[in-house]
Amino acid sequence: MFTRRNLVQCVAASALVMATPALARAPVDVDDVAKLPRVKVPLVAPPFIHPHEQATKEGPRIVEFRMTIHEKEIVIDNDGTKLQGMTFEGSIPGPMMVVHENDYVELTLVNPDTNSMPHNIDFHAATGALGGGALTLINPGEQVVLRFKADRTGTFVYHCAPEGPMIPWHVVSGMSGTIMVLPRGGLKDENGKPLHYDKAYYIGESDFYVPKDENGKYKAYDSPGESYADTMEVMRKLIPTHVVFNGAVGSLTGDKAMTAKVGERVLIVHSQANRDTRPHIIGGHGDYVWESGKFANPPEKNLETWFVRGGSAAAALYTFRQPGIYAYVNHNLIEAVELGATAHFKVEGQWNDDLMKQIRPPEPIGSGATLGALKK
């Protein structure tokens, strides 16, 4: 069993060891950075993404974000199963941030005194000091400001990474999100031709490990700390009880389905901070897919299913060509159907019989038309 005092001392010592040499070796030209224009960007909850330019002719700038950590109880399925969640800005996944290559990200991370745990943030897009984790460890009642240069393009995961077993526990309790660093000239196809999107959605896939009691019922706890020992026991078996999109079963279905229109090109960013996954649009495709999430690499084309490595985020562009409800799933169909990893796109528009048409409705075998009639 851990104590908060021991955890804080351990992580603080690690942060000091990792951060000090990096700062000594790589002094920052503060005057040059200070001259850059600044912009404050409010964050929004997934699957939505804050307004942003897809391409820019302006020079680099400092993009300011403020993100508050919330520890809170979350209902994760239709049966009322409760998770003692740890979250960035109150959502699972945390909000998506968008900047352009060579912008500076300046994040104010806040850990309110109502929380019970120390937290930090590790940006996979950043270079040095454990991705910022060694410089952002904060106790309840503290805040910290981190700045890093977004010097490579793509979609990248961020997550909490305190120390040792605290890392996976915090991640599978909800503490991950994504940052997208766009090329200053925007997205390009394999020939360098510009690619634009009409809408963008962010889907964060999570694996949860909820303990059960002796009767096989999911247990509930009063605080994250109280759930720690039991949750670790379930985690170490590597068998999730839930695999979900955006924090809960059904979070992106029904009246919460993502929307589009026929002819709209949609950017889908999909992250998984802990396990491998394989997104698939039932009835659609990935027209352009950056499977590794890195825009410096040419996109693959016309994929039926793509692979997202654990600890990464992929990006895909698809132009919807037919109306209807499209299921977007993790194509481990056991996890999609049984554990919850399913979302929906609700697409409006006119049906195209050339792409698909039911020639005859279901009928008793042997009735109706002959093969020759069917050809007419």
String of DSSP letters for 55-112: S--S---EEEEEEEEEEEEEE-STT--EEEEEEETTBSSPPPEEEETT-EEEEEEEE-
| Shared-domain flag, residues 96 and 237 | no
Which residues lie below 8 Å from residue 152, measured CB to CB, with a gap of 6+?
101, 125, 181, 294, 296
Taking only the tens place, the pLDDT of each residue in 229-247 is 999 999 999 999 999 999 9
| Shared-domain flag, residues 222 and 338 | yes
The answer to whether residue 160 is catalytic is yes
Cβ atoms within 10 Å of 128's Cβ, excluding its own: 17
The answer to whether residue 264 is catalytic is no
| Shared-domain flag, residues 148 and 275 | no
The answer to whether residue 68 is catalytic is no
Residue ending a domain, among 134, 160, 177, is: 177
Catalytic pick from 70, 159, 270, 344?
Answer: 159
The answer to whether residue 304 is catalytic is yes
Residue 372 lies in a domain: no
| Shared-domain flag, residues 43 and 80 | yes
Six-digit token string for 310: 């654990």
Mean pLDDT of the chain: 92
Number of domains in the chain: 2
Catalytic pick from 189, 232, 264, 331?
Answer: 331
Query: Which pLDDT score, from 0 to 100, does residue 30 have?
Result: 72
Taking only the tens place, the pLDDT of each residue in 106-122 is 999 999 999 999 999 99
Q: For 125-129, what is the mean pLDDT?
A: 96
Query: Which pLDDT score, from 0 to 100, does residue 373 have?
Result: 52
Six-digit token string for 192: 């360098």
| Shared-domain flag, residues 24 and 152 | yes
Q: What is the CATH number of the domain that holds 263?
A: 2.60.40.420
| Shared-domain flag, residues 130 and 222 | no
pTM for the complete prediction? 0.90
Catalytic pick from 70, 242, 280, 344?
Answer: 280
Residue 196 lies in a domain: no
| Shared-domain flag, residues 164 and 50 | yes
Query: Which pLDDT score, from 0 to 100, does residue 142 have?
Result: 98
Q: Are 110 and 118 in contact (CB under 8 A)?
A: no
Q: For 187-197, what is the mean pLDDT?
A: 97
Query: Which pLDDT score, from 0 to 100, does residue 369 have?
Result: 58
The answer to whether residue 67 is catalytic is no
Domain that holds residue 280: 203-348
| Shared-domain flag, residues 86 and 139 | yes
Q: Answer yes or no: is pLDDT of 217 > 70.
A: yes
| Shared-domain flag, residues 145 and 232 | no
Taking only the tens place, the pLDDT of each residue in 128-164 is 999 999 999 999 999 999 999 999 999 999 999 999 9
| Shared-domain flag, residues 170 and 28 | yes
Q: Of all residues in the chain, what percent carry a pLDDT higher than 90?
A: 88
The answer to whether residue 50 is catalytic is no
Q: For 283-312, what is the mean pLDDT?
A: 98
